[in-house]
């Protein structure tokens, strides 16, 4: 196991034309959590699903936080770069194109950080209930990468102003951001699945 190694699950593609997905779970989840979601939103995609390497009261996460909604930003940067290295190794090992990240909550936040810190690692991202990961992000050039940001109107964890700021931050960095606010809380709804599936099929058609 190298320093960048993550415990992970890999499901090979059933359809070579479908984009690979990098599945990033929320706090307390693991490498099995989002496999079902990945299969629902992009049947046939290769699925790469790592487990976060930080433990908070025994619950896996992708980076440390100081309190709810208050991130250890040095750790965010370090862990995002580790994740980027893992994705590069996994792409070589499994013969994958750059994946689309599908992240929920803590997983969405590390995906947003990865977009800003290592723009070349991801082909795009679906960010479910994401927050701004870095208060002073680097100048990233996202060159039209597609990003779907789905927020919950009644989310007790992510203020509407924060998700709007993240959408603006990614747009300013050159991403093509589609930001939708759903009548939902922090948990995922059927609308998240439907919108993600439609968005991936359109993003995939554009890539082809």
Task: Measure the CA–CA gap between 96 and 111, rounded to whole angstroms.
Answer: 18
Catalytic-residue membership of 136: no
pLDDT in the model for residue 68: 84
Cross-strand pairs, 127 = 103, 149
Catalytic-residue membership of 186: yes
Q: Where are the domains of the chain?
A: 8-207
Block mean pLDDT (10 aa), the chain, length 208: 76 94 98 98 97 96 92 97 97 97 98 97 98 93 96 95 97 97 96 98 68
For 9, the token pair is 């699950």
Question: Phi, psi at residue 11, to the nearest 5°?
Answer: -115, 120
Question: What CATH number has the domain spanning 8-207?
Answer: 3.40.50.1820
State the catalytic residue, choosing from 25, 42, 151, 155: 155
Q: What is the 3-state secondary structure (H, E, C) of 114-126?
A: HHHHCCCCCCEEE
pLDDT in the model for residue 1: 40
- Under DSSP, the state recorded for 14 is S
Catalytic-residue membership of 105: yes
Cross-strand pairs, 71 = 65
Whole-angstrom CA distances from 154 to 110, 124, 151, 158 are 22, 26, 9, 9
Task: Measure the CA–CA gap between 6 and 50, rounded to whole angstroms.
Answer: 6
Task: Measure the CA–CA gap between 176 and 148, rounded to whole angstroms.
Answer: 8
State the catalytic residue, choosing from 105, 151, 163, 196: 105
pLDDT in the model for residue 69: 83
State the catalytic residue, choosing from 75, 171, 178, 186: 186
Nearest alpha carbon to residue 45 among 11, 8, 85: 11
């Amino acid at each position: 196991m190298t320093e960048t190694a993550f415990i992970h699950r890999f499901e090979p593609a059933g359809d070579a034309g479908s984009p690979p997905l990098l599945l990033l779970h929320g706090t307390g989840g693991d490498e099995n959590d989002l496999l079902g979601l990945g299969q629902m939103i992009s049947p046939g995609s290769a699925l790469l699903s790592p487990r976060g390497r930080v433990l908070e009261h025994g619950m896996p996460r992708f980076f440390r936080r100081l309190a709810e909604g208050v991130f250890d930003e040095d750790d965010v940067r370090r862990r995002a770069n580790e994740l980027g290295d893992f994705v590069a190794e996994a792409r070589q090992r499994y013969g994958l194109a750059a994946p689309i990240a599908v992240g929920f909550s803590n997983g969405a936040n590390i995906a947003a950080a990865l977009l800003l810190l290592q723009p070349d690692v991801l082909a795009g991202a679906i960010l479910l209930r994401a927050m701004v990961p870095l208060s002073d992000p680097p100048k990233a050039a996202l060159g039209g990468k597609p990003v779907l940001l789905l927020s919950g109107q009644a989310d007790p964890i992510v203020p509407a102003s924060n998700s709007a700021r993240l959408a603006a931050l990614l747009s300013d960095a050159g991403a093509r951001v589609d930001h939708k606010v759903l009548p939902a809380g922090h948990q995922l709804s059927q609308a998240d699945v439907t919108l993600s599936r439609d968005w991936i099929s359109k993003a995939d058609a554009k890539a082809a």
